[in-house]
Amino acid sequence: MRILKCKGEEILKKELKGDYNFFIKEANNNKNSKGYGLIRDKTELSKHVASIASVGYGFAALVIGVERKWITYEKAYERVNGTLDTFLNNMESINGFFHHFININTCKREWNSEVSIIDTGIFICGAILAGEYFGGEIKEKTNKLYKQINWNWYTDKDLNQFYMGYSEERGFWGHWDMYAEQLMLYILGVSSPTHPINITMYDCIKKEKKDYLAIKDIIYTYCGTLFTYQYSHAWIDFRGLKDKDGVNWFDNSIKATLANREYCIKNSDRFKTFGKDSWGLTPCVGPRGYSGEFGAMPAISNLEENDGTISPCGALGSIVFAKELSLSAIENYYNNFPKLWCKYGFRDGYNLDIGKPWYSKECIGIDKGISMVMIENYFTGLIWEYFMKNEYVNKGLKLLGFTKEKEDVKVII
């Protein structure tokens, strides 16, 4: 058990290195394998299963590693380059989209998983970052993968919305019909040089507003889960930007973060895990398994999935939105719950509401990824800096009518 207590930014640095190590050590590093460069979805269960989103965040890990001198430029370049070859030569794709889960050794589809638009989006965002950072053939290969994505194939033309998912057995289902983590898809979709979507698709999602307590006019997501307010912001620097309707998505994420914390405070009488320094409801592993619907108000969902489980990645991924509140939560997790810490930083979740305190044995790639990228953005802005150099990202923002607000400097709480 740790004796020395740590301050928030010191813990962030430890977490950042732990996150980085996840993406290095949970990867297929066998250059003779078809799955070279693939990264596990999680650490404990199904060790043979990788996720394409993990790979996207893994590209960010290598950029961070070079900058922090945890890996040489040459080794990182080689790893990124080889991983892109895996996707170009060994991975099955449908109209440029990849299956969510694949075998880490064979690149074959696992669990009859869907052909995922959002996970392909996260993957290609990571590749774009790497392309801007390393340049050369890495950028060329990234552009080839990006241009292969047929965004229109994944579009319901009648509703002018992206479908939610597709599988070979089921076909298309659902729709991205309201604001969530998919902002990146519109920006990359409208600027595609090969398969551009209609610019009006961005206008065909609901952007309804609700208040929560004293926090006004939050454009909310279905379950009020924090990752939906974080994922696109991990790559795209929305600070000081407003769309043609005057929406500032960065400010909206600040409000959603504050609401999430207030919800946990208000419901601390129901769940003793919840509190002013234990907040950040977002999908994670709980005592009953993984849930994608741990969330807070405002939301459409009735939040019946909430069982007291909190994931540290909720506050970690919000560090750019609510600095002091996030640091306070992180200090609480690290200093008061030592069993929540492991070789990769914070475990995926904990719960004090089922009798004996419960701690997840798992670390999950997407949760390590959002924590890592947001921590690096908080300290240096590195991910934002390079991603925002990309011509297609800038073209997409321009096409959708994003402009700089008159007052660029925002206060981060």
Question: What's the pLDDT tens digit per position in 274-307?
Answer: 999 999 999 999 999 999 999 999 999 999 999 9
Tell me what the mean pLDDT of segment 207-212 comes to: 97
In sequence order, what DSSP letters do the residues of 67-121 get, joined into one string? HTTSS-HHHHHHHHHHHHHHHHHTS-EETTEEBSEEETTT--B-TT--B-HHHHH
Cβ partners under 8 Å of residue 353, min gap 6: 271, 272, 273, 307, 308
At residue 106 the predicted structure's pLDDT band, cuts being 50, 70 and 90, is very high
CATH code that applies to domain 8-403: 1.50.10.140
Q: Is the pLDDT of residue 411 over 50?
A: no
The torsion angles phi and psi of 236, rounded to 5 degrees, stand at -95, 125
What number is the average pLDDT over the span 239-252? 98
Q: Which are the contacts of 103, defined by CB distance < 8 A and separation ≥ 6?
A: 35, 48, 49, 50, 109, 110
In angstroms, the CA 132 to CA 389 distance is 7
pTM: 0.96
**What pLDDT is attached to residue 412?**
42
pLDDT of 410 = 46
Buried residues in 150-181 as b, exposed as e (16+ CB within 10 A): ebebbbbeeebbbbbbbbeeeebeebbebbbb
Mean pLDDT of the chain: 96
Kindly provide the b/e burial profile for residues 4-43, where b requires at least 16 CB atoms within 10 angstroms of the residue's own CB: eeeebbebbeebbbbbbbbbbebbbeeeebbbbbbbbbbb
13-68 tens-digit pLDDT: 999 999 999 999 999 999 999 999 999 999 998 899 999 999 999 999 999 999 99
Write down the pLDDT at residue 182: 98
Q: Which amino acid is at 156?
A: D
**Farthest-apart Cα atoms in the chain, separation:** 61
Confidence tier at 413 by pLDDT (50, 70, 90): very low
Look at residue 45 in the predicted model and tell me its pLDDT: 84
Q: Measured between alpha carbons, how far is 199 from 398 in angstroms, rounded to an integer?
A: 11
Range in 31-35, 85-89, 220-224, 407-411 with the lowest mean pLDDT:
407-411
> How many CA atoms does the CB half-sphere of 126 hold within 13 Å?
29
Determine contact, residues 37/77, Cβ cutoff 8 Å.
no
**Which helix (H) or strand (E) element contains residue 281?**
none
Q: Identify the band that residue 407 occupies on the pLDDT scale cut at 50, 70 and 90.
A: low
Average pLDDT of the residues in 390-410: 87
Q: Give, rounded to a whole angstrom, the gap between the first and last alpha carbons of the chain.
A: 32
Query: Above 50 in pLDDT, residue 409?
Result: no
Higher-pLDDT residue of 6 and 147 is: 147
- Report residue 242: phi and psi, to 5°: -130, 150
Facing residues of 346 across strands?
Answer: 341
- Mean pLDDT to the nearest integer, 335-342: 97
Amino acid type, 186: Y
pLDDT value of position 4: 65
- In the chain, what percentage of residues exceed pLDDT 90? 95
Using pLDDT thresholds of 50, 70 and 90, give the confidence band for residue 1: very low
- Show me where the domains of the chain are located: 8-403
Q: For residue range 116-151, list pLDDT tens digits in order.
A: 999 999 999 999 999 999 999 999 999 999 999 999
Q: Is the pLDDT of residue 341 over 80?
A: yes
Q: How many CB atoms lie within 10 A of CB 401?
A: 13
Distance CA 370, CA 184 (A): 15
What are the φ and ψ backbone dihedral angles of 293, each rounded to 5 degrees?
-125, 20
Distance CA 91, CA 113 (A): 14
